Amino acid sequence: MWIRNLLRSMLLGVPIGVTFLDTIGYVARVEGISMQPALNPESKNTDYVFLSRWAVKDYSIHRGDIISLVSPKDPNQKIIKRVVALEGDIVSTLGYKNQYVRVPEGHIWVEGDHTGHTLDSNTFGPVSLGLVNARAICIVWPPERWQALEAKIPNHRKPVSTQK
């Protein structure tokens, strides 16, 4: 009898869980120092964030959003960066092959908050919107760091010119 109840629970629970993870979101561990001070402000502690897939389902991404995306350098790796510029914006780069870049249509410019300690668009250039898979909404662990994540760009990294 208990085996039948277990199977029935699994037959209902697994598809519901998979659907939730694929459409709504999931919790992910943030590793490294590239997003300091917003994430992992102390190297010894690791932040866990809720990543909302629902928030980017229609590619509604704004300047300042912290997003998760597939790394253009390694498709097996997911990275978390801040959106600095949207398509049509002109951005002043930090060590990229051109000093100024106009972000092409269907692309964004992403950077880590810890300048100089991050692999971001200054390394690999504008990123296709198709690589974006979620937006970081809030820090969920550790408890003393519970907070919503602000969509803001540091003043020294704002685009030179914006399209919208």
Mean per-residue pLDDT of the chain? 85
Residue 146 contacts residue 47 (beta carbons within 8 Å): no
Catalytic residue among 34, 52, 68, 121: 34
49-73: pLDDT as tens digits: 999 988 788 878 999 999 999 999 8
Which of left, alpha, beta for 152 (phi over 0: left; psi -120 to 50: alpha)?
Answer: beta
| Percent of residues in the chain assigned helix, strand, coil, to nearest 5 | 25, 30, 45
d(CA 115, CA 39): 14
78 is annotated as an active-site residue: no
Domain boundaries, the chain: 26-148
81 included as an active-site residue: yes
Which of 43, 44, 73, 81 is labelled catalytic? Answer: 81
Give pLDDT < 70 ranges for the chain: 12-13, 16-23, 43, 164
Domain 26-148 belongs in CATH node 3.30.2130.10: no
Q: Distance between CA atoms of 34 and 98, rounded to whole angstroms?
A: 22
pTM (2 d.p.): 0.84
